[in-house]
Structure 1
Amino acid sequence: MTKYHLTSAARLGLGTALATACLTGAAWAEADLEAARAIVEAHSVLPSFEAPGAPFDAASCMAGKRILSIPTSSAIPFVSGIEEGMVAAAEEVGFEVRTWQNQGQPTQWVQGIEYAISNGYDAVDLMAGIDPNALAPQVAAAKDAGLKVFASHHRDVTDETAEPNVDVSLPLSFSRVGEIIAAWIVTKTEGDANVLVIGSDDVPPSQPYWKSFEAKLAELCPDCKATYYNVPVAEWATKIQTTTQSALLQDPSINYLFPIYDSMSQFMLPARAITGRMDLPIASFNGTPFIIDMIRNGDVEMDVGESLGWIARSSLDAYMRDLCEVGDVPDELYIPFYIFDAANAETAGVPAELDKGYGDAHVGGFRALWGLE
């Protein structure tokens, strides 16, 4: 390998050039801190409710109807929390939503669809990560049997993948989350960010989410830097720590950690300790309770949360609109995003609880929309 050395004169010339560039703005563009702060502030206030459609008499049109909801895995607290919210909201309206318990195996999802068909359900719901295209024969069979097929919280709004035979598809704006976190990091580093990003490309929204973060970071702070590493979900426990540790040793100038799903954070903490970088802040997304506890304890700086109850009611609202043929069926989940940090982490409970800390505007809002009050 050839090595290059600068002479004293060359170093002096380079230093002069860099100084001139700093003064003239030729090499560095100033970060737009005002725009970044505006995005952060907009997501630091409790969400208010805005009706996603016209009111309708949900109790009358849903009487006697049944939906079987198949989550990606019943073992994931975040997902099971959404399911519990859907079951409870359906009881308020007066119809049945049943959760198909499973451990995340595709064969179990297939069995769930077959059960819905053979037991006369009106609809089957693929919730929180199941790709309808991966179950195309079963989805087609459900449609042939007269069932509606729904899918929710499974891809980003920018993903235009066709989903044949799906009656209602409700993607989530993971890309908006990427923009919020980019704005937070630019704000907190005052336009001097070098971010280590850990993602999982086997989760469909991961790339749109990462790309939106990267684009917004470049827009708000042209001289900020972000480096992305892919760690598949099955390898989180074994590879996130070593990947983080290696990256920190290779680039000591890294000053922010961004695991794109907040449960990844727990595997980054040992790498911070081993490399002597406990000062490195962490920002992420999901609002998982134990991560909000980490915010309260000072181990994580920020988490963008999404209310599980809001997800449940938003999903159910769209499904009922389709089953009742009332129109106004949304084409994405109506979920406001809310920033948790040291200032408000306690509002989620001590210890933090699923779906606590977001206020309750969505509860009364959807009840009124459904004609229940």
Structure 2
Amino acid sequence: MRPARHTRRARTWPAAAGIALLAGSLAACGGDAEDTASTSNDGPASVASGNLATALKPLNAYPVPTEKLDKAGSIAGKTIFYVPITKQAPQFTTTEKTLAAAVKAAGLRLQVCDGKGTPTEIGGCIGQATDAKAAAIIADAIPYGLAANGFDAAQKAGIPVVISNQVPDPAHPASKTLTWIPVPGTEQQTRIFDWIAADAKGKANILVNQSSDGPSPAAYVTGGEAALKKSCPDCKLTVNKVTSSNFALVPSSTSAALLKDPSINYVDAQFEQYLQPTQGGVQQTSRTDIKVVTGSASLGGLKALKSGSLAAATAQAAAFQGWVDTDAALRLIVGQPVPEYNIPTRLFTKDNIGDVKLTEEAELSGEWFGPATYTDDFKKLWGVA
């Protein structure tokens, strides 16, 4: 993992360029499976095997920015709002807890409002933050278009917005009141596909339960599929669209896709929030030969991996992200340029899970991904160490 670059520059996001945010992106899409067979002849499965050694290891150090925060004392006592798209996702619980610690360390307060996966609730949360004259709003995994009026109104009122866990929207570029914290969703997807390609020795039929909550999840799968075509040209990928607004459809749509194509032997729950209903769908088929994997894993997912009910998992450093999101918000508040950030990821399998401390304290410290000294590094940048 290379250190983050510390000067913001224009970015291009080709994977997402052609993905439109539909008004019904959070509507139930269970059972909408799409076959996308890999046809490339470029690259053997050994490509995937060669990538796994690095993916399995933690970092030597977290990529903390180097630019100090100016005028930090002038914002003490103010309130930052955190709005996750839904608190059903375990990852957001970790980020929320570390956000609270980071915001407190900087001398501010944190207010949390659950978006509950619906445009109405998300818009209400952003409106609440604007009415409360928040110092900043941190929106987690919320597409700009899903709450455009609210985001526009907040910025017009002088409230800066940080949007995390989303592919940046070209129609709403970074500005003095808006910044994007991109996350390695494609990297996670690529790593799990690399593992499948190696585990299956180059011949796998994969079903991925892809979130339809906005354009970013589809972009991650598209990026992962491009890598899969190189590492596993004989692998086949089927996409089943699921959504956080209707978990009840996930088991039935999963089982329907498996019954439609009995050759599927790997099932990928794109995010851990879909893992339990995905496993329920597999169980409905009474098949025991299917290996289940997941992305954005938290403590629960890694415990499932340790117990053997999960074959592999990827995760991103959600604890570190809480401090990154806070750093970005503070810099917007004081009118300082926001650096580029790099959120680490890691692949977990039976080969390394035995070395991972599976406790909430370890998860919140960020030690799964590297040395947990980054909190002191951020405090020094903010002048509060």
In 1, the alpha carbon distance for the partners of 2:88 and 2:283 equals 30
For residue 38 of structure 1, the aligned residue among 41, 47, 50 is: 50
Q: What residue is the counterpart of 2:180 in the other structure?
A: 169
Equivalence for 2:379? 367
- The within-5 A match list for 1:30-109 is 31-47=43-59, 48-56=61-69, 59-74=72-87, 76-100=89-113, 103-109=116-122
Equivalent position amino acid for 2:339 in 1: P
Is 1:208 the counterpart of 2:216? The answer is: no
CA RMSD of superposed structures (Å): 3.0
Q: Is the 8 A contact 1:293 1:352 kept in 2?
A: no
User: Given the superposition, is the C-alpha separation of residues 164 and 320 from structure 1 closer, same or farther in structure 2, using an over 3 Å criterion?
Assistant: closer
Distance 2:282 2:150 in 1: 46
1:285 Cα deviation from its structure 2 partner? 0.6
Q: Secondary structure at the match of 1:303?
A: strand
Alignment correspondent of 1:13: none
How far did 1:335 drift?
Answer: 0.9
Shift of the 237–113 alpha-carbon distance from structure 1 to 2, 3 Å rule, reads closer
Q: Does 1:223 align with 2:238?
A: no
CA distance in 2, matches of 1:284, 1:198: 9
In structure 2, stretches of 5+ residues that fail to align are: 1-38
- The yes-or-no answer on 1:278 pairing with 2:291 is no
SS at match of 2:64: coil
**Does structure 2 retain, via aligned residues, the 8 Å contact 1:58–1:93?**
no
Q: Which consecutive residues of structure 1, in runs of 5 or more, have no partner in the other structure?
A: 1-26
Q: 1:343 to 1:352 in 2, by over 3 A?
A: farther
Aligned residues between the structures: 341
Q: 1:226 to 1:235 in 2, by over 3 A?
A: same
- In the other structure, the counterpart of 1:358 is 369
Do the aligned partners of residues 320 and 300 (structure 1) sit closer, same or farther apart at CA in structure 2, a change above 3 Å counting? same
What is the CA distance between 1:161 and its match in structure 2? 4.3
Contact 2:188–2:315 (CA<8 Å) still a contact in 1? no
- Alignment map for 1:107-118 (pairs within 5 Å): 107-118=120-131
Deviations 1:141-200 (A, max 9, x none): 3233222222222x225x534358752122323122222122111111121121122212
- Under a length normalisation based on structure 2, what TM-score does the superposition of the two structures give? 0.77
The yes-or-no answer on 1:241 pairing with 2:251 is yes
Greater percentage in helix:
1
Please point out which of 306, 312, 318 is paired with 1:308.
Answer: 318
Matched, 1:133 2:142: no
Larger gyration radius, structure 1 or structure 2: 1
Match for 1:67: what amino acid? I
Q: What is the Cα deviation at residue 208 of structure 1?
A: 0.5
> Retained in 2: the 8 A contact 1:51–1:369?
no
Match of 1:340 among 339, 342, 348: 348
Deviations along 1:199-219, one digit per CA (max 9) or x if unpaired, are 122343121011112111101
Question: Cα 1:278–1:348, aligned 2, differ >3 Å: closer, same or farther?
Answer: farther
**Aligned counterpart in structure 2 of residue 330 of structure 1, from 324, 330, 339:** 339
What CA distance in whole angstroms lies between the structure 1 residues aligned with 2:86 and 2:227?
A: 32
Percent identical among aligned pairs is 24
Counterpart in the other structure of 1:142: 154
Residue type of the alignment partner of 1:231: V
Distance, in Å, in 2 between the alignment partners of 1:83 and 1:117 is 20
What's the counterpart of residue 134 of structure 2?
Answer: 121
Partner Cα separation in structure 2 for residue 267 and residue 104 of structure 1? 17
Contact 1:175-1:209 at 8 Å conserved across structures:
yes
The letter for the 1-side match of 2:132 is: N
- Partner residue in 2 for 1:23: none
Relative to 1, partners in 2 of residues 1:324 and 1:254: Cα closer, same or farther, differing over 3 Å?
A: same
Q: Provide closer, same or farther for how the CA distance between residues 367 and 217 of structure 1 changes in structure 2, counting only shifts above 3 A.
A: same
Contact 1:263 1:288 survives alignment (8 Å):
no
**Higher relative contact order, chain-length normalized (CA < 8 Å, sep 6+):** 2
Of 177, 183, 191, which residue of structure 2 is paired with 1:180?
191
Assess, with a 3 A threshold, how the Cα gap between structure 1 residues 235 and 123 changes in structure 2: closer, same or farther: closer
User: Which amino acid letter does the alignment assign opposite residue 99 of structure 2?
Assistant: M
* Equivalent in the alignment of 2:31: none
Residue 37 of structure 1, CA deviation: 2.4
